[in-house]
Structure 1
Amino acid sequence: MLFEIIIGSAMIVVTTLIQGVFTMVGVEYMRDYVDRHHEPALIWSTLRLSVFVLWLFLATILEVWSWALLYLFIDAFQSIETAVYFSTVTFTTLGFGDIVLGEEWRLLSSFEAANGLLMFGWSTALIFVGVQWTYENRAQHRKKHSQRH
């Protein structure tokens, strides 16, 4: 059990680092874009926000695959497809239960589920901030545009 706790904790550190890197790169991109483009067109604002969401989704994919690779490494599953499927279902807290870890590793699935819950919350908060920045940037543009006329 102690070994599972150590491995689960290490994976939480790994996925938090992945999420942190994707967060900082994404946030810097959003801020730099807003600073450089003072008159955003609706289509470009929409595309920028969509790229930001997809960027955060890429972080999620990497996090899921990190867990899947762990399961292969510890021999919990024999195929990459099964490991990725189980990891995706667990990380999203969907938990179908059609594939489960053996008793010696089952504690890891609870670590992954808790990890996924936190990472999705983090991404959701960032998406909300991205929408807010986009809205505020467009509102400032409209205000400046209306003051000129």
Structure 2
Amino acid sequence: MSVNPELVGRTFPPAPPYLVGREKVREFSRAVFATNPIHSDPAAARAAGHADVVAPATFAVVVQEATLAQLLAEPDAGIDFSRVVHGEQKFAYVRPIVAGDELTATLAVTSVKTLGGNAMVTAESTVVDADGQHVVTATSTLVVRGDDA
């Protein structure tokens, strides 16, 4: 089965809210070698003008993951997860993510392209806080390898 081109324009229901925990931010920061004290020390974060520890820029992928799971589970998508590799990831921030944020993400498929027997699916996850204010847009491109790839 090939990737369904009719996915373009499809928007999925919002994923369940994700409460950003201080320890999750610290763990992620260690994993990605983000050593700035604002990522682990609440006092340093407050001194820099933030309410709590600040997540590294790539932390948004943790919130986005639930939306990508919706796409991958879509019965008519034609996406065989065993053939998926991550092609590209981008983040466009309005403000940093901080511990204590309750974030909700909604995914929209923006592009499906076929190139050399492979499909490239681009999807944007719009992430908002508990007040509905835009925090970040995380854009992923997934490459679905064709049968001959």
TM-score (norm 1): 0.32
Which structure: greater strand fraction?
Answer: 2
